[in-house]
Each structure stands twice: as structure tokens, then as C-alpha cells.
């Protein structure tokens, strides 16, 4: 794989394999993980705001208090008591992000040559599955499969920030088992265990100085997976026929990632300088281990049924991002490196409305708007996590095809606003990436809800 990227002038940065050493190798690992295991798919932090089309249609307003369908097995299991029959919901979400950098990479009085990277956002598909079994009027059991965290960004090999980031890919899948019980006619509780799968692949180029003009850049690739567990709790209160409230809590989940780090050596570099190639391989081909805590999330929602045809919805959600303050990577040889992250807790708030026309009762029209705060300040923004605060706009509809079978469709637009400056350096040989980011994402969702 020949990399077309070239390095702008600073001859003093050319160095033999011996000077790369294991210390520089582990500095590269820390930079990769710290910048890449905490990136963004399209929401703030690395939360993925997809799932049931019903949530996207309202920009997540009312999601913990609706109890409209089986998707509440994930958004608030306590609200499953509102369902009087068994139900299975299936959804598919298409994510189409735009992540564009404008700026330069400063290094040693010069600049790293290359392009601004174009659109680093990568289109992706995420599934959604929920099911509810109605054991009795007061007891319900639920199953949910969602992808609440994740991201995918790809910069080309000639990106000016290639020594900071090239490929970032995170996958997270939560499998939830839950039960709900009606304690009183107006109050119910719910919860259960969460089984979580987490995987990541991260790459970046390695600066070897002017030699790369001829040979192309070496690149380091780190990847790993793990399974862990957490829990889910919810409370649902329906004091009147027109008001209902829901509180949902998903616990933090700690993942210990045991992965593999590998280095790609351009063939021409290996042919021209076997000692350099051997030194890179010895320093960077190794097992690696780190630990990441997926944050706990608390959601408060309400639904006001203003008339039989019109409902108003609201949500306030808190994400405990401050559990991520630093990251430590440990090598197979016992060496370790640590990097501060300085994540802040964040809030998301949204308002929405649902309208069912009296002349067309099979149709439910939905809409919502929201604001999503970023946990990352300009001082700690990275090319793997570029987003500032975002605005959310959702539209959608649910239509009853036949009795017991509903078709759901939604469109969600998220766009950044405010300051999105970056001044980031993962290590001295990578330079300092200086500039700004413009981001947005379009999410198109389809789903089926089957009651039986």
C-alpha cells in the first residue's frame, strides 16, 4: 500500500529506527487511543442518536414517557406497562455525516503538506430491535438491541493531519433484558441487565521525515474488542389521563480492551532502509491494553395529551462524560503512557409534538427540535472528535398498514453551531493541527411495529 502523502520541510525530523524506540511507539499508541477511542459518530461525545424511528421523528422528545410501542424496552422499560399485547419493533437507520476540516498542521516552523481531507464522515447503517412480552396486565418482559455509542471517520492518506488520525471506527452494541411491574394504578418500575459489546479500529501515519516524500508514510493500526455488562432502571408515572412522566437511567459500563497493534511498512522504505523497517516493527508490533468507561445516562421525559389528537413532548438528558478524564495505555512489556482527556458532563434537551388527524386516524404526524451540548472544549478537541454543540430537527410519521402493524418513517437533521476551533497535537513529531470543523449529519429511518 503506497501512501501518496508527502512531508513538508523540516529535515531535522528524519531519524533512524533506533531513535523511534519503544517510548515513541507507546506515545503513538496513546495518541491513537486518546484521540480515537473517544470520537464522534454524529452526536456529541461518541453517542449515536439513532434507534427507533419514533425517537428520531420527535428529536428524542418524550422518549422516556411515551410508551407508544416496544421501543420503550430501551428508552424506559418501566413504560412497557402501557402495552396490552405482545410487540416486536424493527428499525433501520441510515447515517450520512459530513465532517470537514479547514486549516493546517504546523510542524517545526513549517507545515505538513497535503489536503484538508474532504468529507471525513462515513455513511453507516445501524439496526434497532425491541420486543415486549405481555405476561399479564401488570407484568411485562422486554428485549432491546441498540447501538448507543459509535463512530466512523476516514481521512485520506494525504490529509495534513494524518499523523494525528486517519481511520477511526468504533462499534458498540447493547443487548438489554428488562422487566416492568405496575406497582400502583399510576406508578410502575422497570429495569434489567445490559450486555455490551465494544470494538474499535484506529489508524494514523507515522512521521519519518523527508524520506516519506519518496517512500510514503508508515502507518500504525490498533484494534481490539471486549464484552462487559451494566444495568438499566426506569420509573413511569401517569398521574392523569393527560399527563405522564418517565425517568430512565443506564449505568456506566467499563470496558477493558485487549487489542493488537500493527505497523504497515511501505515496501520501498523496507527496501531502502531495512534497519528503519526493523526498528518500527520491533517497537510497534505488540499487544496493547487500555480501559474505557462508557458514561452513564439519565433521561427525564414528559408527555402532555392536550387533546385526543394533539400531544406535546419534552426530554432532558444528562450524560456523565466527566468519567472520562484520562486514558492509560499499557504495553505487553509493562510500559505505560497516560494522556488527559478533560471531558465534561453534557446535556441534551428537546421539545416535540404529535398530531393524529381526526379525518385520518391511522396516521400520526411527528416533529421535534433539540439542542445537544458538546462534552469537549476547544482546548481538547481532536480530529477524531471534532463536533461542537449541535441542533436537532426531526420529522416523521407512523401509519397503520393493517390492524396491529404500523410503518414508521423519520428524518433527523443534526448540525453544529458555535465555535469549533481545534489546536491539537498528539505528539511532537505529529505537529499541531490548527483550524476549525464544520459538521452535520442526516439520518433516515424506517421501521415496523407489530403487535400480536
First to last CA, the chain: 54
216-259 pLDDT tens trace: 899 988 888 999 999 999 999 999 999 999 999 999 999 998 88
pLDDT of residue 152: 85
| The pLDDT of residue 44 | 61
- pLDDT given for residue 27 in this prediction: 38
| Mean pLDDT, all residues of the chain | 86
In a domain, 6, yes or no: no
Q: Is the pLDDT of residue 6 over 60?
A: no
Collapsing DSSP states into helix, strand and coil, what is residue 333? coil
Structural domain boundaries, residue 117? 11-451
> What's the CA gap between 347 and 77, in Å, rounded?
22
pLDDT-wise least confident of 34-38, 69-73, 172-176, 407-411: 34-38
Q: E strand or H helix at 202, and its extent? A: strand 187-205
Residue 2 forms part of a structural domain: no
- 329 occurs within a structural domain: yes
The pLDDT value recorded for residue 232 is 96
Q: Max CA-CA distance within the chain?
A: 78
pLDDT band at 214 (very low <50, low <70, confident <90, very high): confident
CA 252 to chain CA mean position, Å: 15
For residue 5, tell me if it sits in a domain. no
Higher-pLDDT residue of 10, 175? 175
Contact between 55 and 63 under an 8 Å Cβ cutoff? The reply is: yes
How does DSSP assign 420-431, residue by residue?
-EEEE-SSGGG-
Residue 153: which of 223, 98, 92 has the closest Cα? 98
Q: Give the mean model confidence (pLDDT) for residues 268-294.
A: 86
Alpha-carbon distance of 261 to 202, in angstroms, equals: 9
In three-state secondary structure terms, 268 is helix
Report CA-CA distances (Å) from 388 to 124, 165, 374: 21, 18, 5
CA 163/CA 430 separation, integer angstroms? 5
Lowest mean pLDDT among 54-63, 75-84, 197-206: 197-206
Q: CB neighbours of 315 closer than 8 A, spacing ≥ 6?
A: 60, 61, 62, 63, 64, 299, 300, 301, 348, 349, 350, 370
Is the per-residue pLDDT at 24 higher than 90? no
Stated as kind and residue range, the H or E segment containing 292 is strand 286-294
How far is the C-alpha of 237 from the C-alpha of 127, rounded, in Å? 29
Provide CB contacts within 8 A for 266, sequence distance 6+.
1, 2, 3, 215, 216, 217, 218
Q: Cα–Cα distance between 111 and 118 in angstroms, integer?
A: 18
pLDDT at 416: 86
Give the whole-angstrom CA distance, residue 414 versus residue 296: 23
- 48 vs 348, more confident: 348
CB-based burial, 402-428: b 16+ in 10 Å, e otherwise: eeeebebbbbbbbebeeebebebbbbe
Burial class (CB in 10 A: 0-12, 13-18, 19+), 357: exposed
38 confidence band (pLDDT: 50, 70, 90)? very low
20 pLDDT more than 50: no
- SS3 state at 144: strand
Residue 77 included in any domain: yes
Q: Is residue 288 part of a domain?
A: yes
- The number of folded domains in the chain is 1
Tell me if 200 is assigned to some domain.
yes
For residue 411, the domain's CATH number is: 2.40.160.60
Rounded CA-CA distance 74/364 in Å is 22
Q: Which residues contact 187 (CB under 8 A, 6 or more apart)?
A: 235, 236, 237, 238
In a domain, residue 386? The reply is: yes
Amino acid at each position: 500500500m503506497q501512501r501518496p502523502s508527502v512531508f513538508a520541510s523540516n529535515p531535522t525530523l528524519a531519524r533512524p529506527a533506533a531513535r523511534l524506540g519503544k517510548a515513541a511507539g507507546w506515545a503513538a499508541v496513546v495518541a491513537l487511543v486518546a484521540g480515537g477511542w473517544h470520537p464522534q459518530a454524529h452526536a456529541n461525545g461518541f453517542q449515536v442518536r439513532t434507534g427507533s424511528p419514533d425517537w428520531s421523528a420527535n428529536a428524542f422528545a418524550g422518549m422516556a414517557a411515551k410508551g407508544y410501542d416496544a421501543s420503550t424496552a430501551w428508552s424506559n422499560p418501566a413504560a412497557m406497562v402501557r402495552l396490552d399485547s405482545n410487540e416486536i419493533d424493527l428499525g433501520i437507520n441510515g447515517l450520512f455525516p459530513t465532517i470537514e476540516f479547514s486549516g493546517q498542521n504546523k510542524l517545526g516552523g513549517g507545515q505538513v503538506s497535503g489536503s484538508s481531507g474532504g468529507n471525513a464522515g462515513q455513511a453507516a447503517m445501524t439496526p434497532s430491535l425491541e420486543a415486549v412480552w405481555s405476561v399479564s396486565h401488570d407484568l411485562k418482559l422486554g428485549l432491546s438491541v441498540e447501538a448507543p455509542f459509535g463512530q466512523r471517520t476516514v481521512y485520506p492518506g494525504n490529509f495534513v493531519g494524518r499523523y494525528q488520525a486517519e481511520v477511526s471506527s468504533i462499534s458498540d452494541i447493547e443487548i438489554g433484558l428488562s422487566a416492568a411491574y405496575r406497582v400502583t394504578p399510576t406508578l410502575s418500575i422497570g429495569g434489567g441487565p445490559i450486555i455490551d459489546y465494544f470494538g474499535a479500529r484506529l489508524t494514523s501515519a507515522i512521521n519519518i521525515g523527508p524520506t516519506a516524500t519518496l517512500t510514503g508514510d508508515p502507518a500504525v493500526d490498533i484494534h481490539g474488542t471486549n464484552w462487559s455488562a451494566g444495568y438499566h432502571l426506569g420509573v413511569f408515572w401517569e398521574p392523569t389521563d393527560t399527563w405522564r412522566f418517565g425517568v430512565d437511567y443506564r449505568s456506566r459500563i467499563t470496558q477493558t480492551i485487549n487489542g493488537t497493534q500493527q505497523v504497515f511498512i511501505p515496501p520501498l522504505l523496507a527496501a531502502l532502509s531495512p534497519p528503519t523497517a526493523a526498528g518500527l516493527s520491533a517497537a510497534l508490533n505488540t499487544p496493547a491494553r487500555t480501559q474505557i468507561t462508557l458514561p452513564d445516562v439519565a433521561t427525564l421525559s414528559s408527555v402532555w395529551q392536550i387533546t385526543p389528537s394533539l400531544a406535546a413532548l419534552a426530554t432532558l438528558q444528562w450524560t456523565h462524560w466527566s468519567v472520562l478524564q484520562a486514558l492509560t495505555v499499557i504495553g505487553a512489556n509493562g510500559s505505560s503512557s497516560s494522556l488527559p482527556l478533560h471531558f465534561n458532563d453534557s446535556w441534551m434537551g428537546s421539545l416535540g409534538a404529535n398530531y393524529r388527524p381526526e379525518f385520518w386516524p391511522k396516521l400520526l404526524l411527528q416533529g421535534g427540535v433539540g439542542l445537544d451540548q458538546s462534552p469537549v472544549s476547544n482546548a481538547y478537541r481532536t480530529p477524531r472528535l471534532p463536533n461542537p454543540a449541535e441542533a436537532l430537527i426531526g420529522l416523521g410519521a407512523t401509519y397503520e398498514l393493517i390492524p396491529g402493524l404500523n410503518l414508521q418513517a423519520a428524518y433527523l437533521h443534526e448540525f453544529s453551531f458555535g465555535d469549533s476551533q481545534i489546536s491539537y497535537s498528539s505528539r511532537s513529531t505529529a505537529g499541531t493541527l490548527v483550524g476549525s470543523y464544520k459538521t452535520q449529519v442526516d439520518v433516515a429511518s424506517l421501521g415496523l411495529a407489530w403487535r400480536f
